[in-house]
Structure 1
Amino acid sequence: MKKFLPTALLLASVLITDVAQAQSLPRRQNDVIPAQVETMYTRGLRYLSNSQDAAGSWGGGSGSRPGVVALCTLAFLAHGEDPNNGPYAQKIRKGLDFLLEKQKENSEGYMGPQMYDHGFATLALAECYGMVEDKRIAPALKKAVDLILKAQKINPRHGWRYDPTTRHADTTVSGCQIVALLAARNAGIPVPDEAIDKGLAYMRSCRSTNGAYGYTSKGGGRLTLTAIGSLCYSLAKKKDEAGYKKSLEFLKQNIRTQDSSYPFYFRYYMSQALFQADEELWNAWNKDNIRLLSVTQMPDGSWAGNHGNAFSTAGALLSLALNYRFLPIYEK
């Protein structure tokens, strides 16, 4: 792997901890939270709390990957849990410690083993910044963002794939990095407009005329990929683009369709894409999501999946988290 040396600007900004740049924990909306959602969410958090190990991860396999640890940590914050003094504060801090220790293992700040992991870990750091009282977060977040930007610069398609040195790209990994960059920007970390624009241009190159996104090209459009692409454009404030409207129509036409390969990954992105696009459409989808998740939650509060129950549970909870809207990334 090539060495990504930090720039002088990054070194100079490490000590910046201006509260004005950070983000405070948003307040709960006045909307009434469905009792069924609160019950499911509380049970799910209890499962995550009970199954976290001493290192701050969620056991062997996928549960020890930074991306899964990041999503589980975000699930606590998305419920409005106080990360400094609340009942789950220690769990949130242990997850954060795991991510920061993982970053220390790599001189470039890479939280691998894949860019999926790095993207979700960067998103978690961005959402924690300003919420969690920890001076380590600002420099770690800046370093994580720097790696994403440098990985894009060496990629001829201006996207991302599994490794930061790759010359290939796909819409799932690229979408993950774009969301992470936008979250970091919201937190006050400098992210060039050019990086966002080039990332969106890559996503656009994989969007067909009917608005559906393919994996590495316009062909083979998939619902989950279209939700990812749509979310990127929403968060980047590019909803007025004609292609975005076609993607929304594709999502609307297939709103009853399920992704059996990665069902919780699908729900995680679909909930955000529809909420950012059309709240009335999200309301309809949300009712179905609540119904389905209520009958598939396990007695221990988890959701089962072939990528590990920690990942499935985090995905399920975060798909419900739009009912609370605590995370800054959920703001419109």
Structure 2
Amino acid sequence: MPHSRLLAALVACVALGLISVPAPAPAGAAPPDDNKKKQQEIEATVAKGLEYLKKTQAQDGHWEAQGGQYPTSMTALAGMAFLMEGSTLKEGKYSDQVKKAVDWFLAPARQQPNGMLGDVRNPSEQVRYMYGQGFGTMFLASVYGEEEDKEQREKLEKLLKKAVEFICKAQTLKKHRKAEGKEMDIGGWGYVSAAEGNNFDEGSVTITALQGLRAARNAGIPVPKENIDKAVNYLEACTTPDGGIIYNYLGEGALRGQERPPLTAAAICCGFSAGQYKSELPKRWLKYCKAHEETFLAKGRQAHDEYQTYYFGQAMYALGDTKYGAMFPDQKEKDKWLTWSRFKDVYFPQILNNQDKSSGAWEQGQVGPVYVTSINLCLLQLEKDLLPIYQK
């Protein structure tokens, strides 16, 4: 058949659908081989990081920061890294590490009648035990949600109910008058309970406690609605006209110029974990992040604040690559949306490059390698989508 007739026949077959033609790759999309190579690099990095945490777990099941600090928070965060890998109390490559961590929390010597998870005999926890209360509740709730053994579930349920009760009793209670004159109850959390801390509260502990409560509620543990409502009201009261979150509530309107980007990113994450994609408050926080994009998504920047990266990453994962456009339909330039893909493009290369390839740890920051390693492993494993607290 002449070439021209062959070409005409092929065109006709394509038009009739008898022959399919692969769709062209989107402009700027990485070739499949590049994506596969990147994924393999991520998986190798995660494997090294998890092995580091496995090797550094204490015999009794806990982890700690530098100088023996914050064992409750570190054990919870490291435990989350193994849960996100897919291991549980009964199954998976790291089930032994998960079990040892849970047993550490359940040890009779650690049980306290009031539900406190931290150990005030440790100087670092004596003055900041509410961080461990929030992170510990989140970890134990995530374990409980997947646990099928009746006896173990009963132990975890009892501990979680007490832990939730402790968080709720530790919440501050204040009155805030909104600009239009309406008064509302607000309540945050400080480094210690409201009773011990003279009713002091601040944003980072508030968000940690709130995420712990939501993880517990996701797992079926009763959480009073009023405590969550007061916490959301607290974050609203701490939001400036520009949409940023200030450090703590001072009894007056949140003033411009006092915003804390890490707290704002963390607030978005909490809003999204409750499914609040359409409410006004998360939109205000997102607008602040968008207006200060250089703080969050500057390529080539060395992320100096692991806390900000941890929560901003969760928020961007919840957004995915399309929800920002649905929330802000007037913004037509898709390449300027806040998205999970943009977060990955900026942060994943930094995370991969900053790992110590011999030990598998990340050693940046002042808290210590267990903290940074656990946070980076969380971010690198979000796409596995295994735990309800991190799911979209």
TM-score (norm 1): 0.84
Tell me the distance in 1 between the aligned counterparts of 2:384 and 2:201: 34
Instruction: Note if 1:302 corresponds to 2:302.
Output: no
**Cα gap change, 1:290 to 1:262, in 2 (>3 Å):** closer
Match of 1:35 in 2: 40
**Cα gap change, 1:278 to 1:247, in 2 (>3 Å):** farther
Give, as a single letter, the amino acid of the residue that structure 2 aligns with 1:301: G
Tell me the distance in 1 between the aligned counterparts of 2:367 and 2:87: 26
Match of 2:222 in 1: 190
Query: Aligned Cα RMSD in Å?
Result: 2.3
The gaps in structure 1 that reach 5 residues or longer are 1-30
Query: Could you tell which deviates more after superposition, 65-74 or 269-278?
Result: 269-278
1:194-209 matches, cutoff 5 A:
194-209=226-241
**Residues 103-128 of structure 1: CA distance to partner in whole angstroms, max 9, x if unpaired?**
83422110122100110000001100
Instruction: Note if 1:73 corresponds to 2:97.
Output: no
- Secondary structure of the residue that 1:257 maps to in structure 2? helix
Query: Could you tell which deviates more after superposition, 221-230 or 100-109?
Result: 100-109
Tell me the distance in 2 between the aligned counterparts of 1:210 and 1:71: 32
Contact 1:215 1:221 in 2 (8 A): yes
**Cα gap change, 1:246 to 1:62, in 2 (>3 Å):** farther
Contact 1:155 1:168 in 2 (8 A): no
**Residues 53-102 of structure 1: CA distance to partner in whole angstroms, max 9, x if unpaired?**
10112256356510111000000011112431322111111111222238
Instruction: Note if 1:330 corresponds to 2:378.
Output: no
The gaps in structure 2 that reach 5 residues or longer are 1-34, 119-124, 175-185, 323-338
> What is the number of equivalent residue pairs in this alignment?
301
Instruction: Note if 1:276 corresponds to 2:318.
Output: yes
Whose radius of gyration is greater, 1 or 2?
Answer: 2
Contact 2:86 2:92 in 1 (8 A): no
Quick one: higher RCO (CA 8 Å, sep 6+), 1 or 2?
Answer: 1
Instruction: Note if 1:51 corresponds to 2:56.
Output: yes
How far off is 1:35 after superposition?
Answer: 1.8
Q: 2:373 aligns with which of 313, 322, 329?
A: 313
Match of 2:160 in 1: 141
1:91-170 matches, cutoff 5 A:
91-101=97-107, 104-112=110-118, 113=125, 114-132=129-147, 133=149, 134-135=152-153, 136-152=155-171, 155-156=173-174, 157-164=186-193, 165=195, 166=197, 167-170=199-202
How far off is 1:194 after superposition?
Answer: 1.6
Query: Could you tell which deviates more after superposition, 300-309 or 98-107?
Result: 98-107
Tell me the distance in 1 between the aligned counterparts of 2:108 and 2:77: 15
Match of 2:25 in 1: none
Instruction: Note if 1:292 corresponds to 2:334.
Output: no
**Cα gap change, 1:101 to 1:291, in 2 (>3 Å):** same
**Residues 149-168 of structure 1: CA distance to partner in whole angstroms, max 9, x if unpaired?**
1222x533411111122311
Q: 2:308 aligns with which of 266, 280, 293?
A: 266
Match of 2:267 in 1: 229
How far off is 1:216 after superposition?
Answer: 0.5
Q: Give 4+ residue runs of structure 1 displaced > 4 Å after superposition.
A: 258-262
Tell me the distance in 1 between the aligned counterparts of 2:312 and 2:146: 26
How far off is 1:36 after superposition?
Answer: 2.1
**Residues 234-285 of structure 1: CA distance to partner in whole angstroms, max 9, x if unpaired?**
1223332223212112223434426989622222111111222343511110
Contact 2:70 2:132 in 1 (8 A): no
Match of 1:83 in 2: 89
**Residues 186-231 of structure 1: CA distance to partner in whole angstroms, max 9, x if unpaired?**
1011112221111100011111111111110434212110011111
Contact 2:243 2:287 in 1 (8 A): yes
- Secondary structure of the residue that 2:285 maps to in structure 1? helix
- Secondary structure of the residue that 1:34 maps to in structure 2? helix
Give, as a single letter, the amino acid of the residue that structure 2 aligns with 1:98: W
Tell me the distance in 2 between the aligned counterparts of 1:253 and 1:286: 19
Tell me the distance in 2 between the aligned counterparts of 1:214 and 1:260: 24
- Secondary structure of the residue that 1:129 maps to in structure 2? helix
TM-score (norm 2): 0.72
Percent identity among equivalent residues? 31
How far off is 1:178 after superposition?
Answer: 1.0
**Cα gap change, 1:198 to 1:260, in 2 (>3 Å):** farther
